[in-house]
Amino acid sequence: MRFKLSSREIFGLSNVRASSNSFNCNRALRAKRYSSLPFTPLNDDHQASSNRLVNVCSTDSLPKSQVLTLSTIRKLYEDKVPITMLTAHDFSTARMVGMSASSSISNNQAESSLTDRHLAGIDICLVGDSLAMVSLGYSSTTELGFDEFSSHVQAVRRGLDSLKHEKFHRIPILVADLPFGSYEASLEQGVRSAIELSKRARVDGFKIEGGPEIVPLIRRLTSFGMSVFGHIGLTPQRASSLGGFKVQGHDSSSKARQIISDALLLQDSGCVALVLEAIPTEVVHQITTRLSIPTIGIGAGPSTDGQVLVLNDLIGALDSETPKFVPKFEVPRNSNKMSLSSAKASWKLGMDIVNEYVYQVRTRQFPVMGQHTYKMKPQVLKELDEKGWI
């Protein structure tokens, strides 16, 4: 498969050749403790003994990191390059998500191709309220408080910011959920919550679950210049009313039509993209072909414009059972480079899995039909084909 987007456009790099001094400098950077805060040494001795990342050595000679924008996401969509999205919940996981682009690029490569393994990295870093369950141990996402969630969004922002001080990272945009209880009471509450997250963590966009009931909030936020990602299908904040964490729209023609109708309505309301969760591939195809904004799927099949997963599920950070749409990548361990006693063994393995995810999404090898997808009941599909989808 040949993509329209060149590697220079994807990475935003004019030259990724690094001198030996730059390479040694980067090794020094990695040896220091990370911080996203600026550092001004009190004197030469203070600077020499600093454990801060910044000012360990000059980074003027290193290729600058590229900070992605929503325009980058739009260009990927227009050029039909599958969009990659992954969650992060703290400083370290934000760095893992943000480092996925450069971890496989050697210092000698002046030109790269998307057909090469593991290139291009994560486009969107999502701080989802799923962290309530996978990171904090709550039984549902609805138990997560706004201030508690906000602290995680801020930590992720610091993690992404810390990458700006290093060489040629491709830093994803930051999108945050509006957690349960932060927007339902009134339109004003939703606006205040979004503004507060914007001020605290400089988020690039918000993901909001729901259909027609959230349209007024979407329109208000977009009128202020804020970007909104819609989220339909299985919406975890409403899981109890949906019968649990189950596929949506597979057993009823009216439910399938409602999902399609919601997608069109959210686009018309100003959403810049839609997350489609646990929806049959037949319904997803109908949505994607009708919309002019990106669709990003989780358990929604290969016909979406991108994919998103929860990082903890992807790298196997928990011993609990994962949903069927989570891939089980075979990532070999090189005993010459990493052993079980290595202090960075888990980090290295996690990065390998993230890079494999990026590669398989970009090359459309993931998700696999039948393995990571849901189907409609035959009689429901027949009815929709005969009587119409909308």
Query: For 252-293, how does the pLDDT look when each residue is reduced to its tens digit (9 = 90+)?
Result: 999 999 999 999 999 999 999 999 999 999 999 999 999 999
What length is written for the chain? 390
What tokens does 170 get? Answer: 């491709």
Structure-block tokens of residue 186 = 């009134």
Q: Does residue 29 fall inside a structural domain?
A: no
47 inside domain: no
Sign for the CA dihedral angle at 79, 77, 92, 366 comes to negative
Contact status, residue 274 vs residue 214, Cβ threshold 8 Å: no
Sign of torsion over alpha carbons 212, 146, 347, 48: positive
Helix residue spans in the chain (DSSP H): 7-11, 20-31, 44-49, 70-78, 91-98, 131-134, 146-162, 187-201, 215-223, 253-269, 281-290, 311-315, 345-362, 378-387
Say whether 307 sits in a helix, a strand or coil: strand
Distance separating alpha carbons of residues 262 and 390, to the nearest angstrom:
11
Q: Which residues pair with 228 in a beta bridge?
A: 206
**What one-letter code names the amino acid at 266?**
L
Q: Is residue 376 domain-resident?
A: yes
Question: pLDDT digit string (tens) for 181-192?
Answer: 999 999 999 999
Please give the Cα distance from 135 to 291 (Å, whole number): 34
The answer to whether 277 is a known catalytic residue is yes
Kindly state whether residue 113 falls inside one of the protein's structural domains. yes
Question: Looking at the domain assignment, is residue 15 inside a domain?
Answer: no
Please check whether residue 35 lies inside any domain of the structure: no
What residue has token string 């040694």?
24
The reply to whether 31 falls in a domain is: no
**Exposure of 15 by Cβ count < 10 A (0-12 exposed, 13-18 middle, 19+ buried)?**
exposed
- Please give the pLDDT value at position 329: 82
Catalytic residue among 166, 277, 282, 356: 277
Phi-psi region of 83 (alpha: psi -120 to 50; beta: other; left: phi over 0): beta
Reduce the DSSP state of residue 378 to 3 states and report it. Answer: helix
Q: What is the pLDDT of residues 55-79, one digit of tens each?
A: 333 444 446 778 999 999 999 999 9
Going residue by residue through the chain, which has 390 residues, state the pLDDT in tens, using 9 for 90 and above.
Answer: 444 444 444 444 333 333 344 434 444 444 444 444 443 434 444 444 333 333 333 444 446 778 999 999 999 999 999 999 999 999 999 999 999 865 444 333 433 444 443 356 999 999 999 999 999 999 999 999 999 999 999 999 999 999 998 877 899 999 999 999 999 999 999 999 999 999 999 999 999 999 999 999 999 999 999 999 999 999 877 665 566 667 888 889 999 999 999 999 999 999 999 999 999 999 999 999 999 999 999 999 999 999 999 999 999 988 888 888 999 887 655 544 555 556 678 888 999 999 999 999 999 999 999 899 999 999 999 999 999 998
Domain housing 234: 65-387
Res 13: pLDDT: 37
Provide the β-strand partners of residue 208: 230
CATH of residue 116's domain is 3.20.20.60
Has residue 30 been placed in a domain? no
- The number of folded domains in the chain is 1
